[in-house]
Structure 1
Amino acid sequence: MGGTEHLTVRREGATLILTLNRPEARNALSLPMLVGLYDGWIEADADDSVRSVVFTGAGGCFCAGMDLKALAGGSMSGEEYRERLTADPDLHWKAMLRHHRPRKPVVAAVEGPCVAGGTEMLQGTDIRVAGESAVFGLYEVRRGLFPIGGSTVRLPRQIPRTHALEMLLTGRPYSAREAADIGLIGRVVPDGSALDTALEIADRINACGPLAVEAVKASVYETAAMTETDGLAAELARGRPVFDTADAREGTRAFAEKRPPVYKRA
């Protein structure tokens, strides 16, 4: 199991938990964090015993985005990881879920600030839970910057365009309640309970057939830009093979026998 000084990785049952771990800097992005995140996503994809991922931050904060002080000074912490980015110039975009979509469901557990790069990474997750005091926003325009982590493309596809443009063009903060109202997050929970709630959701996912879960997620994303006719055809191509699996037979048999199913990814 991987991880770096700014990204911790641990298992809880069939869930892999990735935690941004730089609370003294409000979990601002760093080279060790990006490398650790990338490795975490790859580990989740490669390990069939992992059925879900929970993505969170340490110290009551999700992520405050890029480390602007380090950026202004021309250096970022963890320069010893620079060779990883040199070897794969796309690594940081994969780490931030701009150029990588994990095949396992990703549940975000947000406490405190989730702004700029934090809100950008959030858009690469599948299910989102936030504590009441969480704050969201894309602050880049306020600094004369561009939210290049994918937000001008993804955000208008995930929430109504008028809300997306207001968030993008004003750079203002959004409360958790407002973020939920516009559809950026799915649940608002009492402060300090986002991780527990995310783990509960992950446990429900883990109890389902993993082949079915992964096929459903893949279908949702691959058909998003299709016409309805093309999307329905793609759904059949993706969904029909699931019915021919041993897991599908196990699921129906377990239902008939009134017992929990035992899925084997077969």
Structure 2
Amino acid sequence: MTEKTDTAQTPVLFSINEGIAEVTLNRPDKMNALTPEMLVRLDRAWHEIQEDQSVRVAVLSGAGTRAFSAGADLSRLTPLQTRARSAEDEWDEALLADPLLLNRALLRDIGITIPVIAAMRGAVVGGGMELMLACDLRIGGESCQFGLLEVRRGLIPAAGGIARVSRQIAQARAAEILLVGDKINADQALSFDLINQVVPDDDVLTRAHALATRMAENGPLAMRKAKQVMLESSGRPILEAFAKEDDAIKEVLRSKDAREGSKAFMEKRAPSFTGE
């Protein structure tokens, strides 16, 4: 077990245990609104998760019951981005020094090939919903309220919100979310195909961890490659997508895991995958 942070004062908690990385947004009193420090810590956590070959899957959640995340902290993050305030600490400076840090923190790239499960309760709005849209599997509690509300403030959800929601669900549903700017509840999100499951709030983390445990039994290289191809082929012509598959399967077939999977099947036992 690798323990990264475990204090109540740390706004992003991060640990790795038996192949499962757990990342928790930890500002429940502020509805887990995102600050510069949280973005820097998220960026560092995703980097370590991607580089750690022992990690099979990650679970992303928000502390407390009021919110997965209410998006950007309008008193800390937005004024810094608009230069209405100057950098006040190392976290502000790190964010300003790296223009791509926010994108990486909110998974607004396709470099993270580890599967990520979102475990959500309460408000999932603004940047919080954009972060959810970057996750591969999504477990929502019955209390969840989802929304990209930026148009109500004269803004647009430009941390992946527009690009992702318009690809992931039907156009009319995406337009409803993006252009009306109202919230939808968990059952509506399920009917829109925005989330995979709706469960009682008390069961969200249990269900997410059960899913992560099940996925941790899969071939890690296979999962990484499957996610990579899924992301890289999105929106491409079918022949280009086939080419991405071809490249991936060549690498997978040469792996120790592929041989182990076939051998374990023939021997009627559980495979012992190494990610190699």
Verify same fold: TM over 0.5.
yes
- Secondary structure of 1:54's partner? strand
* Distance in 1 (alpha carbons) for counterparts of 2:174 and 2:39: 26
> Between Structure 1 and Structure 2, how many residues are aligned?
266
Q: Partner residue of 2:74?
A: 68
Q: Which residue of 1 aligns with 2:274?
A: 264
* Unmatched tracts of structure 1, length 5 or more: none
Q: Relative to structure 1, is the Cα distance of residues 13 and 200 closer, same or farther in structure 2, using a 3 angstrom cutoff?
A: same
How many angstroms does 1:245 deviate by?
1.6
Of 23, 26, 40, the match for 2:31: 26
Return the alpha-carbon distance in structure 1 between the equivalents of residues 256 and 75 of structure 2.
54
1:159 aligned onto 2:169: yes
Q: 1:249 offset after TM fit, Å?
A: 1.1
Compared CA separation, residues 158 and 76, structure 1 to 2 (3 A): farther
Partners of 1:65 and 1:77 lie apart in 2 by 20
1:12-51 equivalences in 2 (<5 Å): 12-51=17-56
> Are 1:81 and 2:91 counterparts?
yes
Pick from 54, 59, 69 the counterpart of residue 59 of structure 2.
54
User: What TM-score, normalized by structure 2, do the two folds share?
Assistant: 0.91
C-alpha separation in 1, matches of 2:157 and 2:51? 30
**Unpaired runs of at least 5, structure 2:** none
**Equivalent pair of 1:110/1:134 in contact (CA under 8 Å):** yes
Q: Match of 2:153, as an amino acid?
A: R
Question: For residue 56 of structure 2, what is the amino acid of its counterpart?
Answer: R
| Counterpart contact for 1:113–1:134, Cα < 8 Å | yes
Kept in 2: contact 1:5–1:32 (CA 8 A): no
Cα distance change of structure 1 residues 129 and 119 upon mapping to structure 2, 3 Å threshold = same
Aligned-pair CA distance for 1:77: 10
What do the CA deviations read for 1:169-191 (whole angstroms, capped 9, x no partner)? 11101101100100111111111
**1:103-148 CA-partner distances (Å, limit 9, x unpaired):** 1100110111110111111111111111111110011111222211
Distance 1:174 1:78, change over 3 A: farther
Q: What's the counterpart of residue 213 of structure 2?
A: 203
Q: Percent of aligned pairs with the same residue? A: 39
Displacement of 1:68 in angstroms is 2.1
Q: 2: CA distance between counterparts of 1:67 and 1:255?
A: 50
Equivalent residue number for residue 160 of structure 2? 150
* Cα contact 2:123–2:145 (8 A) shared by 1: yes
Give the counterpart letter for 1:54 in structure 2: V
Contact 2:103 2:159 in 1 (8 A): yes
Q: Kindly state the Cα deviation for residue 150 of structure 1 after the two structures are TM-superposed.
A: 1.8
Normalised TM-score (structure 1): 0.94
